[in-house]
Chains A and B, each alone.
Chain A
């Protein structure tokens, strides 16, 4: 963990060498999701509510998934841009260092400009929360926190799966963005507005539903049946990373036997 912060520090120093570009990109990242959020806003202005969800509830959904995405893109960027590490052969360098490949790839790149996006999502979150009447308790606050953490783990997991593919393809694969960008776009609305199979896919295969939709039912008092179950769903998202780690290690093993 200590080493992770040192990686963070050195890359932050590197980023600070290009200050103007940093501020411009951060501002850009701050502004981009506004267009998405504006779309959301006007949609609800026209229709009032969708399948029993009103504007602020969906805004909360939106804020959680965008926060998770921003944090993952910032801290797991190493996996997101992993193809360049393989293509240039710099991955060999990581293999001759006495640390796990996971930690080293994670530490190879951070995208600090994503704080712009994070900041924007936090504003949406605060606005949504202040307009909703939720009876807060320690457990509910923890659930909200876990939701974001769960999202970070899922996005990181997908980045890892995409990175693993690079061992075979060398080039990065845009197709994986279906699951990262696509998943984010889907999950910014409550999942029950979609077709059944879409809901199932994003609950059981890539569990974005456990990031915001299911636990939100608990937070907003929409859940039926066992509340505890809804509350604990973010844990499922966190578990998602385990098979990803396994697949990643398989990929590393493949790389070391083929050396491509």
Chain B
């Protein structure tokens, strides 16, 4: 469905320096540096997949999305999506995709949500019957009915984001690009949005490419992750494999009676320590949990012990560290 081959894109960025003198100088002479936003990127995505597209800020995620949605023309490489080259047949191609930029609204700010939907129907030339069916389904599954007649500016962020997602699905796209769809949402809205994404993926067979910094989004939704750093693809595979690769670490939190002397456990890395509590990271490949607890009980008077698998966030941090991005 999506085949990306050797995509490269570089930008010229003006060097910015601090200070009034430098700023004045920059008015007349500007030094440019070339930033390779994408560097020989290749991957392919099958119909019906949900792919998590992750990487630190500035890794090239947005650039990839922009190329794939036909906004940007790359320097080199090919990209074929449903038989189209996005930047060549823009108008014909974009009918088939939906794009949600989490940080930007596509709704008209001062009018009721439903008015925006109707205008989008006209922009995408959605047949009335299809529009009605889609709208009913979206209103029901996203629970929009209570606020669909309110102007967008009166909605909460969570309500607005649900409307944004609905707006990008009115024309029954085959592919949905979600750029940070849960940014700034509260827990309830986040869960509602995730549930809905999963539903349309299953029921309408929409292929979804999701970029996010929230690893719980990825955990809840994506079967497959693409990790990108400095414009290169670093990892392409299942989330579980990633977890088993780095997940041998456990985090152990210990409460004990006041103990002024720091604890020393062989094979464990101390993450934080106070006279009453310490948190350590244990590599179970080197030392077993029971050994650590035995050592602990010899050193302190244990009150409580909690053992947790390493959160996915930490795995990603470790991964970024490993790839030096």
Contacts and interface: CB of A to CB of B under 8 A. Distances in A.
B64 to A, nearest CB: 12
Contacts of A257: 72-73
Nearest to A6: B122
18 contacts: A6-B118, A7-B119, A10-B116, A17-B110, A17-B151, A88-B104, A93-B99, A93-B101, A95-B71, A95-B90, A96-B69, A96-B70, A98-B95, A98-B124, A99-B91, A99-B123, A256-B71, A258-B12
Contacts of B151: 17
Interface residues of A, number: 26
Contact of A89 (B70, B87, B104, B124): B104
Interface of A: 2-3, 6-7, 10-11, 13-14, 17-18, 88-90, 92-93, 95-100, 256-260
Contacts of B99: 93, 96
B101 A92 contact: yes
A259 B152 CA distance: 29
Contact of A14 (B73, B95, B110): B110
B91 A14 contact: no
Contacts of B91: 98-100
Contacts of A258: 11-12
Contacts of B11: 258-260
B94 A98 contact: yes
B115 A10 contact: yes
Given A10-B108, A13-B110, A259-B72, 20 more contacts: A3-B122, A6-B119, A7-B119, A10-B116, A14-B111, A92-B71, A92-B101, A93-B99, A95-B71, A95-B94, A96-B99, A98-B124, A100-B91, A256-B87, A257-B72, A257-B73, A258-B11, A258-B12, A259-B63, A259-B71
Contacts of B122: 2-3, 6
Contact of A98 (B92, B108, B115): B92
Nearest to B37: A259
Nearest to B90: A95
Q: Which of B12, B70, B123 gathers most chain A CB within 10 Å?
A: B123
A20 B87 CA distance: 44
B66 interface: yes
B41 to A, nearest CB: 16
Contacts of B90: 95, 98
Main secondary structure of the interface of A (DSSP, over half): helix
Contacts, number: 74
Enumerate the 9 nearest inter-chain pairs by beta-carbon distance, A residue then B residue, closest first.
A14-B110, A98-B95, A17-B110, A95-B71, A96-B99, A257-B73, A98-B91, A13-B111, A259-B72
A256 B116 contact: no
A17 B152 CA distance: 12
A97 B126 CA distance: 13
A125 to B, nearest CB: 33
A10 B116 CA distance: 8
A118 to B, nearest CB: 23
Nearest to A104: B123
A156 B199 CA distance: 46
B97 interface: yes
Contact of B123 (A17, A88, A95, A97): A97
Interface in B109-134: 109-111, 115-116, 118-119, 122-125
Contacts of A95: 69-71, 90, 94
B95 A92 contact: no
A13 B9 CA distance: 42
Interface string B64-107: 00100111110000000000000100111011010101001010
Given A93-B101, A258-B11, A259-B11, A13 B115 contact: yes
A96 B108 contact: no
B97 A96 contact: yes
Contact of B106 (A93, A256, A259): A93
A97 B94 contact: yes
B71 A96 contact: yes
B58 to A, nearest CB: 14
Interface string B117-158: 011001111000000000000000000000000010000000
A177 B4 CA distance: 45
| Most chain B Cβ neighbours within 10 Å, of A2, A92, A100 | A92
Contact of A93 (B72, B104, B119, B125): B104
Nearest to A11: B108
Contacts of B106: 93
Given A6-B119, A96-B94, A90 B104 contact: yes
Nearest to B97: A96
Interface centre among A6, A10, A93 (most CB of B within 10 A): A10
Most buried by A among B12, B92, B101, B122: B122
